[in-house]
Amino acid sequence: MKFFVDTADTAEIKDLAATGLVDGVTTNPSLIKKSGRDFFEVIAEICEIVPGPVSAEVAATTLDGMLAEAARLSPIAPNVTIKVPLTWDGLKATKRLSAEGVKVNVTLCFSAAQALLAAKAGATYISPFIGRLDDIGLDGLDLISDICQIYDQYESIQTEVLVASVRSPGHVIEAAKMGAHVATLPPAVLRQLALHPLTDKGLAAFLADWEATGQKIV
Ligand code: E4P
């Protein structure tokens, strides 16, 4: 499973990218607002930090508007992925952009039917928002299971399932068991993946015993 980081905070991205475990980055208008920075400037900086796909989301809602914005965003860097909303205009834009070889991340997906349309339109990634489904009393992971099952039926579907709106390590593990290709994680969730209290307890005991031997390795 590939790990993307879901943030526009370049300090966080630098810190996490230094682990060598970050495959890409996703942003959205809310994350850009939170960064307080110029959209073009921050996307360019992220693209320099992470060589993998960096999603930059259009703000237009019409086909022509989305294509015009994509034409401004794509030249920022070769690793920019254009993010479009799952609307009819977004699907039309996906079809047009993917035919031109532009990578497209179709966002705000909340149903398997939407995911099927995005694949048919040639999306590089489909982003089902699982946390937001959980928030309204549904099970977001059921949607990941449905989409993975559907996509697996057709060799022609190359669209990758990019699990979004992730809230916990449990979301990541369950989605990985289903074969989802990518998870985009808030920095705190990515950090949590490495943690276990028994690791800390075990390490403390080993270090104490090692100290007691009086030996040194170097
Ligand atoms: C995905 O690309 C989105 O940026 C993100 O995962 C949305 O997550 P949220 O529901 O926590 O805002």
The predicted-structure confidence for 167-193, as pLDDT tens digits, reads as follows 999 999 999 999 999 999 999 999 999
| Residue 157: pLDDT band with limits 50, 70, 90 | very high
Closest residue CA from atom 9 of ligand 1: 165
What would the mean pLDDT of 34-57 be, rounded to a whole number? 98
- For 2-213, give the CATH class: alpha beta
For every residue of the chain, DSSP letters joined together read -EEEEE---HHHHHHHHTTT---EEE--HHHHHHHTS-HHHHHHHHHHH--S-EEEE----SHHHHHHHHHHHGGG-TTEEEEEESSHHHHHHHHHHHHTT--EEEEEE-SHHHHHHHHHTT-SEEEEBHHHHHHTTS-HHHHHHHHHHHHHT-TT---EEEEBS--SHHHHHHHHHTT-SEEEE-HHHHHHTT--HHHHHHHHHHHHHHHHHT----
Quick one: pLDDT at residue 40? 98
Q: Give the bridge partners for 81, in sequence order.
A: 55
How much is the average pLDDT of 94-114? Answer: 98
End-to-end CA distance of the chain: 36
Residue pLDDT, tens place only, 115-137: 999 999 999 999 999 999 999 99
Q: Which of 33, 83, 95, 120 is catalytic?
A: 83
Instruction: Give the mean model confidence (pLDDT) for residues 154-160.
Output: 98
**Counting atoms of ligand 1 from 1, which one is nearest the CA of 131?**
10
Mean per-residue pLDDT, 45-60? 98
Atom index in ligand 1 nearest the CA of residue 30 equals 12
Mean pLDDT score of the chain: 98
Q: What angle do CA 13, 15, 18 make, to 5 degrees?
A: 100
Instruction: Express as a percent the part of the chain with pLDDT over 70.
Output: 100
What is the C-alpha R_g of the chain?
20
Does residue 33 carry a catalytic annotation? no
Taking residues 149-159, report their average pLDDT: 98
Distance 126 CA to ligand 1 centre (A): 13
Q: How far is the CA of 166 from the centre of ligand 1 (A)?
A: 7
Average pLDDT over residues 147-155: 98
Please report which confidence band the pLDDT of residue 210 belongs to, taking 50, 70 and 90 as the band edges: very high
- pLDDT computed for residue 190 by the predictor: 98
Q: Give the pLDDT confidence score for residue 171 in this predicted structure.
A: 98
Using the atom order of ligand 1, give the atom closest to the CA of residue 55.
Answer: 2
Residues within a 6 A CB radius of ligand 1: 6, 26, 28, 107, 127, 129, 131-132, 164-165, 184
Q: Supply the pLDDT for residue 15.
A: 98
Alpha carbon nearest to ligand 1 atom 10, residue: 165
Gap between the Cα atoms of 117 and 12, Å rounded: 34
- pLDDT given for residue 187 in this prediction: 98
Is this structure's pTM higher than 0.85?
yes
Find, among 49, 14, 56, 50, the residue nearest to 31 by Cα: 56
* Separation between Cα atoms, residue 20 and residue 59, nearest integer Å: 31
169-177 and 140-152 helices, crossing angle to 10°: 20
